[in-house]
Amino acid sequence: MAKPLAGIRVLDLSKVLAGPLCAQYLGDLGADIIKVETVGSGDETRGWPPFPAPGLGTVFLSANRNKRSIAVDLKTAKGREIVHALAKSADIAIESFGTGVAERLGIDAATLRPLNDRLIHCSISGFGRSGPLKNSPGYDVILQAFCGIMSMTGDEDGGYIRSPISPIDQMTGVHAFSGILSLLYAREKTGQGGTIQVSLFETALGLLGYNLQTYWERGVQPPKCGSSHESLCPYQAFEAADGPIMIGVANDNLWRKFCGVTGLDALADDPKFRTNADRVTHRDEVLRHVKAALAANSVKHWNDALTAVGVPCSPINTLAQLLDHPHTAASGMIVEYDHAHAGRLKAVGHPVLINGEQRQAGLPPPVAGQHTDDVLSELGWSRQRIDDLRRERVIG
């Protein structure tokens, strides 16, 4: 069965994580992704260790499957000519340069869309393309700090902690992906492309939805709460006799079940603890009872007993334990592929299952400029013209 986006061509002019991840998702669904990289170094994440092979940093590998790479010097007129020729037959273009740079390089929407009115142009930035901070560089950790996320992360008496999964970068890629799909659908009715703008700043604000709603209600900065939740109790990590376990008592029915399993029956209907709001009010006392109960037995005991009655819980796994778990294997999310330069590699597959079909890795992440000649030949350019461009260092 053909993949949903088979026949769609994407110019991936982005770098690092948000844009490349968006393009990888499109490629996983069957689109032909042409990744445009700088001559020489390529995408900067190629240089981020560790390296299974030179020029193949692991962050790069995580977001650049199912792409063909061409190396082009966009600072030259002939380099821009290449991208403009590709844009004429492309369906989507994605760029993530600093504000004003895309215009100077001739890859902004105002330049590319007149070449092809069916083109969908997606611009990804740190703080958006307008406003006082439009020229500020945008990195996930900077937005975690600027938007207050870091002020709420970690334990109450601890330092400031960065979330290690780069959630703002990754979610910005997902927002770009959803916007592109919506305009592809709209184009079926109108025949016209359009423009999309997403930013790490707006993604961060979107992720803060319920936190800001709570702030507007209370009017005070929420305390750091570590693994817990300011609106729920008990809802955090606890130490069992042999290690940590996460407990998520999210409603009063679960509280009664939790008390029945842990020997805290006397607390279930105590007026101080009967409702979640009561338990939040008397959090310290609740936690004292719960910590004492859970310390009396093992993680496995509590995980089995609580899971049996439907109380959300989990051991706090390492990455090795996650990968070794049979549920991870059953999900089919971990895919494997062979890379000509790095050997046999594993990757996280696309987190959407289409028509129940087994996930496949598809094309391995490319070497910088690996497909330059192929792509230019598809444009109808002669061998002599391609060789001349290489001698002039317009392409790599």
Q: Which value, to the nearest 10 degrees, does the dihedral of the CA atoms of residues 333, 338, 342, 345 take?
A: 20
Would you call 76 helix, strand, or coil by DSSP? coil
The CA distance from 40 to 19, in Å, is: 20
- Residue 10 has which token pair? 């994407």
28 catalytic, yes or no? Answer: no
**Pairing relationship of beta strands 194-199 and 313-315 according to DSSP bridges:** unpaired
- The distance of Cα 377 from the centroid of its chain, to the nearest Å, equals 34
Residue type, 21: L
The Cα diameter of the chain in Å comes to: 85
The CA distance from 369 to 25, in Å, is: 21
Residue 333's contacts (CB-CB under 8 Å, 6 or more residues apart) are 348, 349, 351, 359
CB atoms under 10 Å from CB of 48, counted, come to 13
* Backbone φ/ψ region at 351: left (φ over 0), alpha (ψ -120 to 50), beta: alpha
Which residue in 32, 91, 140, 169 is the catalytic one? 169
Residue 347's contacts (CB-CB under 8 Å, 6 or more residues apart) are 61, 62, 65, 334, 335, 336, 337, 361
Task: Answer for the pair 214, 268: CB distance below 8 angstroms, yes or no.
Answer: no
Question: In terms of Cα–Cα distance, which of 369, 371, 375 is closest to 393?
Answer: 369
Question: In terms of Cα–Cα distance, which of 232, 148, 180 is closest to 27?
Answer: 180
Q: What's 221's DSSP letter?
A: P
- Residue 248 has which token pair? 């998520």
Residue numbers annotated as active site: 169
